[in-house]
Amino acid sequence: MILPKANRLTAEQVATLDAIVAEFGCHLQPIEGTVRTIYAIVGDERHELMINRLEGLDFIDRVDRIQSPHKLMDLRSDLATHRITIGGVTLGSRLFVIAGQCTIDPKNPSLFIETAHAVKEAGADALRGGVWKPRTNPYSYQGDDRALDILMEAHRQTGLPVDAEVMDETQLRLALDAGVHTLQVGARNALNYSLLRAIGAAIAGRGNAVLLKRGMHLGPVAEFISAAEYIVSFGNPNILLCPRGTSPTLDGYRNHPDESITPLLKERTWAPVVVDPSHSVGKAAYVPACALAAVAYGADGLCIEAHVNPARGIGDDPKQALSPEVLAKTITRARALWTTLRAPDAPASSPCTA
């Protein structure tokens, strides 16, 4: 829909519009109001260059797209009926919980193995463990290939599917070869389109899923969905959208909590939303409330950092990880809320039933 600056365009201006949209196989349909005339673009209006050229005209106020640019991620796409199953649990059948350490310490493998058993006991559906870490400080611990063996040993012992972040194609290949089930794209790489494409291509035709974190700098919802579209466009639609807080921070928290984006995502896309409260608020004491808020906003899952002994952890774990006891209580409460909100008699204002 083209909205001109003036109430009426000259014949010459209309001819300019006509010529541009015709180049892209579209035509114009004027919609004449009593005061103002606007112009519908009839045809496939997803051509970015066409929109850019129209928006570049000095007599045009703006161009509103009616069609979604997200052919696959859009709520109205054929993929809307797709269900994602990880480790035998189908997203949407219950609150899906991924939990585990921020970082696997290769010097203390038994700690991670204990954490794995503890998060399973607490009710988690999948185990997370950082093998390679995106660290702000280049002198901080960066990860270690040996941690991958520890992660896979924890999978063998617990049966839990495992999630790990990959930041480049070498790590991607190592993770897939080792059998990592869910590949995590971190907030710092959420807009790294080469990596998104490489992951999409590598998992096409396989059963893996991707946990796509939201970019850490506050960006439009559409930008987050577009990042998912990159991966899904290669053929594997197992994508989980993970809000994890944005920057600039809310004073006192690590980031600006963004679980409230969940209903906005659900209005536009079918993909499950798995909120990460840990990186959002950044402190163990605040994590349970943020997790419950995420569920209240309609999240399908949670990704929570937890450690059998947070004080002995590395990376984010000493400040952010929940103890197994707090994790268990948080999961129980979050699942109870999730179930309540989806009950047939839930209040109409519930995000899940509205």
| Window 212 to 231, contacts with ligand PEP (CB under 6 A) | 213
Three-state secondary structure call for residue 4: strand
Q: Is the peptide bond before 272 cis (omega within 30 degrees of 0)?
A: no
Sheet containing 60-63, strands listed edge to edge, beginning at the edge strand earlier in sequence: 27-32, 37-42, 2-4, 60-63
H or E element that contains 228: helix 221-232
187 binds, among Mn ion, ligand PEP, none (CB under 5 to 8 A by kind): ligand PEP
Interface mask toward ligand PEP for 123-142; x: CB under 6 A: -------x---x--------
Say whether residue 155 binds ligand PEP (CB under 6 A): no
Q: Which of 26, 50, 95, 102 binds Mn ion (CB under 5 A)?
A: 102
> Taking CB positions, which residue lies at the least distance from ligand PEP?
186
Query: 125 touches which of ligand PEP, Mn ion, none (CB within 5 to 8 A by kind)?
Result: none
Work out the angle at residue 86's Cα, subtended by the Cα atoms of residues 82 and 88, and round it to the nearest 5 degrees: 100
Candidates 70, 244, 254, 307; binder of ligand PEP (CB under 6 A) is: 244
Neighbours of 33 (CB within 10 A): 8
Nearer to ligand PEP, 4 or 161 (CB): 161
Single residue of 41, 187, 292, 341 touching ligand PEP by CB under 6 A: 187
Binding Mn ion (rule: CB under 5 A), the pick from 50, 316, 330, 352 is 316
Query: At closest approach, how far in Å is the CB of 305 from Mn ion?
Result: 6
Min dist. Cβ of residue 168 to Mn ion (A): 18
CA pair distance 334, 89, nearest whole angstrom? 17
Binding status of residue 307 toward ligand PEP by CB under 6 A: no
- Our CB check for ligand PEP shows the closer of 188 and 342 to be 188
Find the shortest distance in angstroms from Cβ 158 to ligand PEP: 19
| Bridge partner list, 188 | none
Binding positions for ligand PEP, 188-207, rule CB under 6 A:
188
Query: What angle, 0 to 180 degrees and rounded to 10, lies between the N-to-C axes of helices 169-178 and 146-158?
Result: 30
Q: Give 114: exposed, middle or buried? Use CB within 10 Å, 0-12, 13-18, 19+.
A: middle
- Across 126-165, b (16+ Cβ under 10 Å) vs e yields bbbbbbbbeeeeeeeeebbeebbebbbebbeebebbbbbb
For ligand PEP, the binding residues (CB under 6 A) are 102, 130, 134, 165, 186-188, 213, 244, 276, 279
